[in-house]
Chains A and B, each alone.
Chain A
């Protein structure tokens, strides 16, 4: 079974700073997907970024980028030029490639961006 661990329950930074959220996972699969989801106070789950395990290049979406270290089973999210609207819970998630598309989530990191 796959597990996803987020070791930072809470983080807080000033607006415009860069922040990195950590995520590690455990799997015996060789091909899979990794995700970061954002959950603002509205509760809506929003996909931030996706990484395919077979791709060596780290995914980037505007101010959001990941550092994917497959051998270390590490998948961190970097938010550059943080904005007040980035305040939210962030969940790291895993999905096995092929077969059932079941998302396995970490426990989440509560990120607060201070003005």
Chain B
């Protein structure tokens, strides 16, 4: 299996521009998670989906951030407009299931390093 695929690996943009990060989960996985990693805040969960439905977006920092999962094999995280403080590494992870009382390992993608100038 190819694992979780994220694109692009690196993104440099200017303040005010729209940024779209992409994720392809492992085939057959039905839960998808977006995390952000910064020096100041560490790794934090932004949003997660189960069966393409957003379950918890309480970690999304503000309305400039939005995430979608139009189908089981693709998700996007969009920032519009971007700001320098959005600079971070954004990880996507997927797992087989997210039912209560079950544990399933989250497999992480390689991350996208975003730099907003």
- A residues in contact (CB < 8 Å) with B: 33, 42-47, 50, 52, 91, 95, 97-108
Contact = CB atoms under 8 A, between A and B. Distances in A.
B44 interface: yes
Q: Which of A99, A102, A108 has the most CB of B within 10 A?
A: A102
A97 B45 contact: no
Interface string B22-45: 000000000101010000001111
B105 A102 contact: no
B112 to A, nearest CB: 10
Q: Is the interface of A mostly helix, strand, loop or mixed?
A: loop
Contact of A100 (B35, B56, B91): B56
Contacts of A42: 110
B111 A105 contact: no
A98 B89 CA distance: 28
A105 B55 contact: no
B89 A43 contact: yes
A97 B111 CA distance: 26
Given A43-B89, A45-B91, A47-B105, A105 B44 contact: yes
A102 B42 CA distance: 15
Nearest to B101: A98
Interface string B76-105: 000000000000010101010010110111
Nearest to B100: A98
